A = this chain, B = another copy of it.
Amino acid sequence: MKIEVADHSGFCFGVKRAIKIVEDNLKKEQDVYCLGPLIHNPQVVKSLMNRGLKIVKDISIIKEGALVISAHGLEPELVKKAAEKGLKIIDATCPLVKKAQKYAEQLKNDKYHIIIIGDKNHAETKGIVGFCGTNFQVVGNKSEIDIKRLQSDKKIGIVSQTTQGIWNLREISTTALPYSDELRIYNTICETTLKKQTAARQLAKRSDVMIVIGGYNSANTKRLVEVSKETGVKTYHIETAQDINLAWLKDKKKIGISAGASTSPESIKEVITVIKKQTTIL
């Protein structure tokens, strides 16, 4: 049996950076809060909570202290509210997400109708939306585009959640193109995301089964699962080694592993160890 881990698996630059910012501030600050999970990995977040990070759902709960903006960013309205409360703002927004926010703001200022490609309920999308003013639509795929709104606005701008697939961006762009006099597309899909997807696809093609590790709430991990499934290979999404089911690996010779941007190296190692142990039993 062969276990192979896809290139570019696990922690990306933005996630590493966010964790380090929080670790540094936990040493300096008394009360460090984060609105929702810092990154979409419950285990890593739990470990930071054990070291003092407080995760809250609503800013109104915080009386004083420091507020960390998660790697996914935050709506400017909420940042303003936190600053007005006198909270210290610690910005752990991934620089690539910040770029997407900046482009959205520019499109708003230049009076474009903005299409945001992403998941409406994801923190990153909500953050980007916060920079768009009122003339925008969030779409997950081309079938969700509100064509009527494109027809009334001839200047159309597109930004994408950083973890989307390039094919989705292409399809949505070509759908919008005939309705526009000017189409401005900001390709804000992060390069690591693209590399992860390519590597996962390639590995899936030469594997008998694929295990994708990452938070169940992680957009980029879900995308890796999709990409792997598209190759036709049986693919399982797990959060930790404990989620592995012995039956999945039966009679499989080549096991491929891919991991989302917020999956720690330890978590990947643990999965490999468990697979090796279990397959000895099989």
Contacts and interface: CB of A to CB of B under 8 A. Distances in A.
A111 to B, nearest CB: 15
Contact of A169 (B169, B177, B182): B177
Contact of A184 (B169, B174, B178, B182): B182
Interface in A149-185: 166, 169-170, 173-174, 177-178, 180-185
Contacts of A186: 181-182
A174 B174 CA distance: 7
A231 interface: no
Q: How many copies does the complex hold?
A: 2
Contact of A185 (B170, B183, B187): B183
A202 to B, nearest CB: 17
Interface residues of A, number: 16
A170 B174 CA distance: 6
Contacts of A103: 182
B182 A182 contact: no
Given A173-B183, A177-B185, A182-B184, 9 more contacts: A103-B182, A169-B177, A180-B187, A181-B187, A182-B186, A182-B187, A183-B185, A184-B185, A185-B185
Interface in A233-256: none
A182 B102 CA distance: 13
Interface of A: 103, 166, 169-170, 173-174, 177-178, 180-187
Nearest to A166: B178
Contacts of A183: 173, 184-185, 187
Nearest to A106: B182
Contacts of A170: 174, 177-178
A169 B181 CA distance: 12
Contacts of A177: 166, 169-170, 173, 185, 187
A227 to B, nearest CB: 15
A80 B215 CA distance: 63
A157 to B, nearest CB: 9
A185 B212 CA distance: 37
14 contacts: A103-B182, A170-B178, A173-B173, A173-B177, A177-B185, A177-B187, A180-B185, A181-B186, A182-B186, A182-B187, A183-B184, A183-B185, A183-B187, A185-B185
